[in-house]
Structure 1
């Protein structure tokens, strides 16, 4: 935690005399703190092929608390819980809910996912401890009952015009489940943690430039860049973007360097939004970084051609095409569909591994007396070539935030 100690100390020394203090006393800081929460009920039905079809129903609570500012300091905590009361079978018993969902949804218990100290001075904020992180290469996924989290330190600065700078160090990662029936606890990231630097610039009207580096010590260095332009002419909106990723593995990992690039064009009119995208992975090796996706943490799924449920395909030499269209029926209701086609290389004489998916998704946010209550449904159907296994999954999520 060297970065955490040095950075926080430097900021405190520089700003004690000039900070704006929201609370007059430590007691007031706690009294004026904010409590937030969420009640969740999720139902997933997953079919991975013959004998691997099961469903699961989960309920859980998320509780968060952040103190008011006191001499620039804040304390924050978030508690998450998960319970699957009707999951059938057992881990290791093929075709049962407990076994099929052991890696992401079947894990009963609770975890303190956030517990941090935050200090803000001017346009700089430092946060040390357990925390949710969302950057292109270091990100926790929130698509399941338990949102992934990190332990470490982050510093965010916005002093430069139209520019956000981020530096971070993480030494532990909290997954969704432990694979043995419990909620996951925090575990070490490599032998010596991971570092990252991120810059986002919006100096040119309509253009967002993103660059990030992340290193998992003695494992891999990952470099990511993106140019994204968005414009509007009356009710017509349009955008063009490109992404490029390089992964250099440590020699001890025994993998060839890899990476990918993607192109995306988007269009919109009134409540209708669409996009078409293409991506290509380097042929030398998979480009899934150190976590199964592009970077560190399950939330770093940045491929333009990602599916709604299964995400992107980072297989070596994979070529993918995607088209998505969604429509906001009202400010509260949205429906959408996405088609993704993936071409994969095959050995001489072997059957094709190509596949395509069709995704449907919808959501509705209630208003009035039910404000804060949101329901969401997703369905994804994968059709494989040459008799390979077809799969599908349905997800329904209901959540009330307060």
Structure 2
């Protein structure tokens, strides 16, 4: 679910320990998500049409269901393998309960007849009732790993979690990569990472120009989307990408990491971050530089972010600030998905409206409060982004969430989101309500 966030260093170290599984391990989850909004228009990335939005109205709602199955096993001493399978279905909710799907991995066909005009704009007005939505399924992971001493090599289709190229886990669909990764922990409290990424199935900004995007986007039916139609993989960047990183935790309260990326013939970037967590006091700093001049001819952009907070077993409160220079294409977004909606690892990232904090000339701040109370996980998140260069990409977002566990295994989360963005809903503020149900097994 979108609420779950993990530090980059922890995720990388978890990836190393995950190779050591006992025999065969099977896990997974089943998810149902629902979203409704009172903004005008149809869908998150909709064709511009004039329809009146209302909360819980069919044409202003989206839903999807997903099944994720994971299996991993030790094949021989030091050799392991794993695979993950994803299936996405609308469960037939379209045409009677909602008019939009949550995921972009669907494909849709439009009937030709007297009652339907086969154009994206008209179909967006008609909603999904004028289109047949197909289920989607694919192997999002299929990998093998070899461990010798403190060195592990992992090859195949896999999830990645690095600052500028990562798997986004907030949706029912998750983008993954076809890659080769080498991790070494011979140095005390240090992880060295080298990776080559050949392909990805995210809706990638530096990729094939959207050739594999599902047509639920062009029909204005996708509420969200980070995965190509039917999970199709294509070349990452123009000729693949290289990434190198070092994560150090010698002083236990402090985690320091540095990364360098080379998206072949497209862009170069680096990311530096330090996070301190000592007796509940949290301090952090981030700096990144992205040079996409090979692709755009523009100057490099950089971004920095700072964070301060305090955490106890009962609550967490923190504030953060970030700023992006005004030279190029922005800095700090996930290069594996589309620039204008990609999630960012910057501390200031919004809970729902991704993409704004990493834009050219964006100045952002975020205030986050989380608490556990009587079996409920409560959260309040406020993000504000101003922009003197891209003035249409300013946003104020307030999100309030409540989550709990039902029947011992069913995670349920309710979210309310108020969005005031200049490039959405004709610049007027609007509301959204989302429900996430996840059955883990």
**Global fold match (TM > 0.5):** yes
1:318 maps to 2:365: no
1:133 pairs with one of 160, 178, 198: 160
Q: TM-score, normalised by structure 2?
A: 0.73
Instruction: Say yes or no: does 1:337 pair with 2:380.
Output: yes
Are the equivalent residues in 1 in contact too, given 2:157–2:179 (CA < 8 A)?
A: yes
Please say if residues 107 and 184 of structure 1, whose CA atoms lie closer than 8 Å, have aligned partners that are also in contact: no
Residue equivalent to 1:365: 405
| 8 Å Cα contact 1:178/1:184 also seen in 2 | no
Tell me by how many angstroms 1:96 deviates. Answer: 6.3
Q: Unaligned stretches of 5+ in structure 1?
A: 1-21, 24-28
Query: Structure 1 residues 71, 114: closer, same or farther in 2, change over 3 A?
Result: same
Q: Is the 8 A contact 1:383 1:390 kept in 2?
A: yes
Structure 1's 98 and 68: CA in aligned 2 closer, same or farther, altered over 3 A?
farther
State the match for 1:74 in structure 2.
80
DSSP 3-state at the match of 2:345 = coil
Match of 1:259 among 302, 306, 317: 302
The structure-2 alpha-carbon separation of the partners of 1:191 and 1:343, relative to structure 1 and needing over 3 Å to count, comes to closer
Which stretch of structure 1 is more off in the superposition, 254-263 or 181-190? Answer: 181-190
CA RMSD of aligned residues (A): 2.8
Q: Which residue of 1 aligns with 2:214?
A: 179
Number of the residue aligned with 1:245: 288
Cα distance, 1:375–1:311 mapped onto 2, change above 3 Å: same
More RCO (CA 8 Å, sep 6+): 2
Contact 2:343–2:355 (Cα < 8 Å) also in 1: no
Contact 1:285/1:315, CA 8 A, preserved across alignment: no
Aligned counterpart for 1:154 among listed residues 165, 181, 187: 181
Q: Distance in 2 between matches of 1:281 and 1:300?
A: 15
Number of residues paired by the alignment? 355
Aligned mates of 2:307, 2:153 — CA distance in 1: 34
1:180 positional shift: 2.1
Residues 272 and 49 of structure 1: CA distance in aligned 2, closer, same or farther (over 3 Å): same
Q: Where in structure 2 are there 5+ consecutive unaligned residues?
A: 1-19, 42-49, 54-59, 100-107, 111-119, 204-211, 217-228
State the 1:202 CA deviation.
0.9
Once the two structures are TM-superposed, the CA of residue 320 in structure 1 deviates from its matched residue by: 0.8
Check the 8 A contact 1:128/1:154 in 2, yes or no. Answer: yes
- Return the match for 2:327 from 258, 280, 284: 284
Structure 1 length-normalised TM: 0.80
Q: Which of 194, 199, 202 is the aligned partner of 2:241?
A: 194
Alignment CA distance shift 1:300-1:321 (3 Å): closer
CA distance in structure 2 between the aligned counterparts of 1:399 and 1:157, rounded to whole angstroms: 35
Q: Give how far 1:107 is off.
A: 6.5
Aligned to 1:33: 24
Query: What does residue 94 of structure 1 align with?
Result: 124
- 2:349 is aligned, of 288, 294, 306, to 306
Contact 1:75 1:115 in 2 (8 A): yes
For 1:20-59, what aligned pairs fall within 5 Å after superposition?
A: 32-50=23-41, 51=50, 53=53, 54-59=60-65
| Segment of structure 1 superposing worse, 259-268 or 370-379 | 370-379
Post-superposition CA distance 1:10-53 (Å, at most 9, x none): xxxxxxxxxxxx99xxxxx9xx3121121111112245535465
Q: Distance in 2 between matches of 1:45 and 1:60?
A: 18
Contact 2:267–2:295 (Cα < 8 Å) also in 1: no
